[in-house]
Chain A
Amino acid sequence: MVENRRVADTLSHLVLLLGVVTVAFPVYVTFIASTQTAEQIVQNVPMSLLPGDNLVESYRLALFGGQTAYGSRLAPALPMLTVSFISAMIIAVGKIAISLLSAFAVVYFRFPGRTVVFWMIFLTLMLPVEVRIGPTYEVVANLGMLDSYAGLTIPLIASATATFLFRQFFLTVPDELVEAARIDGAGPLRFFKDVLLPLSATSIAALFVIQFIYGWNQYLWPLLVTTDESMYPIVMGIKRMISGGDAATEWNAVMATAMLAMIPPALVVLLMQRWFVKGLVDTEK
């Protein structure tokens, strides 16, 4: 800062550029691979780092499925993308909705058992789904929710991160606003709808980004509760495509599918970057 800026600045930029390149490299490789044909990938080792000309064909194959060069059937990615999208939306919207209601109840009402409820919700912060997969699977199976959107999403909206974020936020809303609203004749639900929700817009946006990505990226849980191919989300479907071994896998389609799977969450992050960063740093603190 105060001394020789030239050298230090150049070094900083260099390191950062290196970081950006390293971070982007795997994705670049993926993109290149998706523009070539399967044979090209397998036979030209090392794979060329320049885009090929098979882009349209690879993506078509990935999206709509069909016969691969090796004669095996490739499942279409489009239905899987749809499943991912719908479940991510359900998880994000569902979680936000129930957390808003719970946080509102816990902050603005005094009722017997409030502390118990508060701690019960707090405990859920401690155990991610991976830890309780066995019994949770049983419950879902017993409720007949396998291979359904309900089974894919509801067990994942149990945790309390959103509730806590909203609680933190509600505690910063000035008391006078509630009093003014009471004098204006607004009951609790009216206050919630007309005043609290609009003020929470930023938090809701940040949480939406985080939860959408969380929902989209789910792997272990869908792996367990779906057996019907039509209910596979894309991140799960992709793994099954590579089980055939290096040579038999239709790599260009796989890479195209990977690109497709990365785009929606990346878009969400990029478009809502500002809220997202604020939300992340606030949630965890």
Chain B
Amino acid sequence: MAVEKRVRFRSWWLPWVLVCPQLAVVLVFFFWPAAQALYQSVLQSDAFGTSVEYVGLENFRRLWADESYLASFHTTAVFSVLVAVSGLAISLLLAVMADRVIRGAMAYKTLLIWPYAVAPAIAGVLWLFMFAPSIGIVSFWLRQAGVNWNHLLNGDHAMTLIVMAAVWKQISYNFLFFLAGLQSIPKSLIEAAAIDGAGPWRRFWTVQFPLLTPTSFFLLVINIVYAFFDTFAIVDAATEGGPGKDTSILVYKLYYDGFKALDLGGSAAQSVVLMVIVVALTVVQFRYVERKVNY
């Protein structure tokens, strides 16, 4: 990870002063709560919250035995796969097209990246509005086309809704990275392939796509992390985890159990599980990306 600097300033106290603010915030708002979560995950409080007892991995065992938790896992898995795959596919298509056109490239780029600025919560509200069973414009067209859209009753519709909202928001981010990746492929490689007789379709699959693998992998991990965590607001705004618990992704369940149902031990255990998942994903990403850098 590190390239070292040859030059240093000499001072034994100044660096500590400089680092102090960040360290303070990190210790108080990061390490301490994380430690608390670990600690609480092995405790259980009684119904009135007056006493706690150490229960080892009991909370975790309960989680795995809990059907709704496993269902939530399943929901999250489905959700993140859908978001990641469709998000990447659509953005890749747009990036490939944008890479080809010369005229208006800047304009397309500008027009396609601004959704990055939209808050997930707002995205949720917007898509909810378009698909609202009674007044939504798109739900109207769907009904005209014979689809009886109602995400308030139909779990699959609800899932589709949040997937669409989530993908819509991520398109810009993925698009930017794919475009950068495409533009870093030397033109000479593509020209060589053309001279070798490869048409545009084949050129894409045999030259550009393989060279995009590092970018694709990187974005895949980012999108999965995004689907796991940053989509809370979309879920809360559009479906509130419903109907029932059909769109209750893990982070939503964590919120619900912790703050609505007030199950501290279980919620802490869920936190720990999520922590492990994120750490695993981040480690995978760093290992892979670091290796890819010299290429």
Contact A268 B168 (CB under 8 A): no
Contact B5 A158 (CB under 8 A): no
Chain A nearest CB from B210 CB (Å) reads 18
Q: Among A62-70, A71-79, A257-265, which stretch is in contact with chain B?
A: A257-265
Most buried by A among B108, B114, B254, B293: B114
What CA separation (Å) do A216 and B118 show in the bound complex? Answer: 9
| Chain B hits for A159, CB < 8 A | 30
Contact B119 A2 (CB under 8 A): no
Contact A109 B121 (CB under 8 A): no
Contact B128 A242 (CB under 8 A): yes
Per-residue interface assignment for chain A, residues 200 to 214, with 1 indicating a CB less than 8 Å from any chain B CB and 0 otherwise = 000000000000010
What CA separation (Å) do A246 and B117 show in the bound complex? Answer: 26
What CA separation (Å) do A110 and B2 show in the bound complex? Answer: 14
Does any Cβ of B come within 8 Å of A253's Cβ?
A: no
Contact A109 B14 (CB under 8 A): yes
| Interface of chain A residues 223 through 280 with chain B (CB within 8 A) | 223-224, 235-236, 238-239, 242, 246-247, 251, 254-255, 258, 261-262, 265-266, 268-270, 273, 277, 280
Does any Cβ of B come within 8 Å of A33's Cβ?
A: yes
Contact A188 B232 (CB under 8 A): no
What CA separation (Å) do A189 and B12 show in the bound complex? Answer: 14
What CA separation (Å) do A45 and B132 show in the bound complex? Answer: 11
Chain B nearest CB from A129 CB (Å) reads 9
What CA separation (Å) do A255 and B126 show in the bound complex? Answer: 8
Contact A236 B129 (CB under 8 A): no
Q: Among B44-52, B54-62, B71-79, B268-276, which stretch is in contact with chain A?
A: B268-276
Does any Cβ of A come within 8 Å of B31's Cβ?
A: yes
Does any Cβ of B come within 8 Å of A56's Cβ?
A: no
Most buried by B among A26, A105, A175, A236: A26
Does any Cβ of A come within 8 Å of B140's Cβ?
A: yes
What CA separation (Å) do A136 and B233 show in the bound complex? Answer: 18
Most buried by B among A42, A128, A140: A128
Contact B194 A1 (CB under 8 A): yes
Does any Cβ of B come within 8 Å of A93's Cβ?
A: no
Number of A-B contacts defined by CB within 8 Å: 303
Given contacts A104-B18, A262-B117, 9 further A-B contacts (CB under 8 A): A8-B100, A15-B93, A19-B108, A23-B171, A138-B36, A154-B25, A158-B25, A247-B135, A262-B118
| Chain A hits for B207, CB < 8 A | none
* Residue tally, chain B, CB below 8 Å to A: 102
Per-residue interface assignment for chain A, residues 113 to 138, with 1 indicating a CB less than 8 Å from any chain B CB and 0 otherwise = 01001001101111110111111111
| Chain A hits for B123, CB < 8 A | 26
What CA separation (Å) do A30 and B137 show in the bound complex? Answer: 11
Does any Cβ of A come within 8 Å of B113's Cβ?
A: yes
Chain A nearest CB from B82 CB (Å) reads 17
In which size bucket is the chain A interface? 35 or more
Does any Cβ of B come within 8 Å of A6's Cβ?
A: no
Contact B135 A45 (CB under 8 A): yes
Residues of A bordering B, CB below 8 Å:
1-3, 8-9, 11-13, 15-16, 19-20, 22-24, 26-27, 29-30, 33, 41-42, 45-47, 49, 97-99, 101-102, 104-111, 114, 117, 120-121, 123-128, 130-140, 154-155, 157-159, 163, 170-171, 175, 178-179, 182, 187-189, 191, 213, 216-217, 219-220, 223-224, 235-236, 238-239, 242, 246-247, 251, 254-255, 258, 261-262, 265-266, 268-270, 273, 277, 280-281, 284-285
Contact with A15, one of B11, B22, B94 (Cβ below 8 angstroms): B94
Most buried by B among A135, A154, A254, A265: A135
Main secondary structure of the interface of A (DSSP, over half): helix
What CA separation (Å) do A50 and B93 show in the bound complex? Answer: 30
| Interface of chain B residues 82 through 129 with chain A (CB within 8 A) | 90, 93-94, 97-98, 100-101, 104, 108, 110-129
Contact B111 A188 (CB under 8 A): no
Does any Cβ of A come within 8 Å of B23's Cβ?
A: yes
What CA separation (Å) do A235 and B129 show in the bound complex? Answer: 15
A-B contact pairs, 21 of them (CB 8 A): A1-B191, A3-B199, A9-B101, A12-B101, A26-B130, A30-B126, A45-B140, A102-B22, A106-B19, A107-B5, A124-B26, A128-B278, A133-B259, A134-B254, A134-B268, A135-B34, A158-B26, A217-B233, A220-B232, A238-B125, A251-B129
What CA separation (Å) do A210 and B20 show in the bound complex? Answer: 24
Contact A220 B7 (CB under 8 A): no
Which residue on chain A has the smallest CB distance to residue B232? A220
Does any Cβ of A come within 8 Å of B69's Cβ?
A: no
Contact B233 A220 (CB under 8 A): yes
| Chain B hits for A105, CB < 8 A | 14-16, 18-19
* Given the contacts A26-B168, A131-B275, A188-B14, A219 and B233 also touching, CB distance less than 8 Å: yes
* Given the contacts A2-B194, A23-B168, A101-B19, A155 and B29 also touching, CB distance less than 8 Å: yes
| Chain A hits for B108, CB < 8 A | 16, 19-20
Contact A188 B119 (CB under 8 A): no
Which residue on chain A has the smallest CB distance to residue B283? A126
| Chain B hits for A124, CB < 8 A | 26, 30
Contact with A139, one of B23, B33, B230 (Cβ below 8 angstroms): B33
